Amino acid sequence: MSKESQDFAELYENSLKKLEEGTVVEGTIVDIIGEDIFVDLGYKADGVIPRDEFSYSDEKPADKYKVGDTISAYILRMNNGQGNILLSTKRLQVKQLREEFENNVKEDKPVQAKVTDVVNGGVIAESGNIKIFVPQTQLAKKVTDLVEYRGKCVALKIIEYNPEKRKIVGSERKLANEEKQKQVEKTWSEISEGKVVKGTVKQLTDYGAFVDIGGVDGLLHISEISWKQIKHPSEVLRVGQEIEVSILKADTETKKISLGYRKAEDNPWANVKYQVGDIVDGTVVSMKPFGAFVELPDGLEGLVHISNITMRRIAKPQDALEMGQEVTAKVVEVDLDKKRIELSIRELEGAAVEGEAAAEAELQGEQITLDSAMTETAE
């Protein structure tokens, strides 16, 4: 070989890319034959990506690429036995996923994974081709059968990472707790008395309901559920129901929140039409040792004190009244400040007795007059 030819060959070799196995290279697709991709790498030999090194999925090369597209791949071997460089986009994807995974672990960021198997004491989840063991105690929710988790996509915090020993442990619960804490802090930072917020009824008790308003539970007292008197919150609310509540009071030190549900525009006390002396009809809805509550047509309730139920002496309201009984009563007091209406059935009963007595007296008077007239006539 002449010196000039040798110099040209050296210049040509130096102009080519320096490629090594285990590195990532970028090239241009020059052909797609069957399911094999041929790539110009700017090297003396082209690269080839066989179908089994293209993707983990069933995706075909022609579905994603065309001639002239730029593609990156991982070099498996400098010679595949046919003079081409053996490339893999599948291995590159794995490499990129592992790098992303390791960065997330270093930065304490969550990783996305899919549960692929159930094992003794937990489940196996995969992120790329990285297997993560999630103990049952580190799952976000308690389940009786771990099979429920199979196929589920989960977000995990890596709590132990030892790739040399192939020991990678993840926690769904830790991440869920961290997210919940962030939500709690956000909710408290936005809370202000008088603000209307959305919430979900979590629990019903005899004295009220607990409502989740964003990771924080507030107490909705039974007296703040309805303008009507109710015996139990279940008469108006149900667990899981989404409602709008107003924040009546929020104590940042004790972390206690009082809520209101009844709306001002529904307040029947805003436009009370009753006056002392009015005769009203109502239904007995509640009885206490001191009297009976009567529901009036507009939703208000009036109290008939035990002394105002009847003219006869009784030991308890049940001696004269029954639940659901329709009654007619007289309004004897209206106190808007105390939101109280007092009624009396006894006064109407007394008026009726007086009326009967007057009628009887009048009848007797007429009878006496008639008897006198008859006596005078006879004489």
**174: Cβ–Cβ under 8 A, 6 or more apart, which residues?**
138, 157, 159
CATH of the domain spanning 268-349, picked from 2.40.50.140, 3.40.190.10, 3.10.580.10, 2.170.130.10: 2.40.50.140
Q: Would you state the pLDDT for residue 133?
A: 95
* Rounded Cα gap, residues 261 and 212, in angstroms: 13
Which amino acid appears at position 259 of this protein?
A: L
Domain ranges of the chain: 25-107, 110-177, 192-266, 268-349
pLDDT tens, the chain, 379 aa long: 555 544 444 544 544 457 888 888 999 999 998 889 999 998 888 999 998 888 877 788 888 889 999 998 989 888 888 888 999 888 888 888 888 898 989 999 999 999 999 999 999 999 877 899 999 999 998 888 899 899 999 999 999 999 888 899 999 999 999 999 999 999 999 999 999 999 999 999 999 999 999 999 999 999 999 887 788 999 999 999 999 999 999 998 899 999 999 888 778 888 888 999 999 999 999 999 999 999 998 888 999 999 999 999 999 999 999 999 999 999 999 998 888 999 999 999 866 555 554 555 555 555 555 455 455 545 5
52's tokens: 């089994």
Q: Would you state the pLDDT for residue 355?
A: 52
CB 294 within 8 A of CB 301: yes
Using alpha carbons, list the distances in angstroms from residue 237 to 201, 260, 263, 285: 8, 13, 15, 19
> Would the CATH topology of 110-177 be identical to that of 192-266?
yes
362's tokens: 């009048």
- The number of residues making up the chain comes to 379
CATH 2.40.50.140 for domain 110-177, yes or no, is: yes
CB 184 within 8 A of CB 176: no
Q: How far is CA 98 from the centre of its chain?
A: 35
**339: Cβ–Cβ under 8 A, 6 or more apart, which residues?**
269
Q: Would you state the pLDDT for residue 9?
A: 46
40's tokens: 């110009």
Q: Would you state the pLDDT for residue 8?
A: 46
Flag whether the pTM goes above 0.85.
no
What is the CATH code for 25-107? 2.40.50.140
Architecture of domain 192-266: Beta Barrel (2.40)
Torsional sign, CA 136, 139, 142, 147: negative
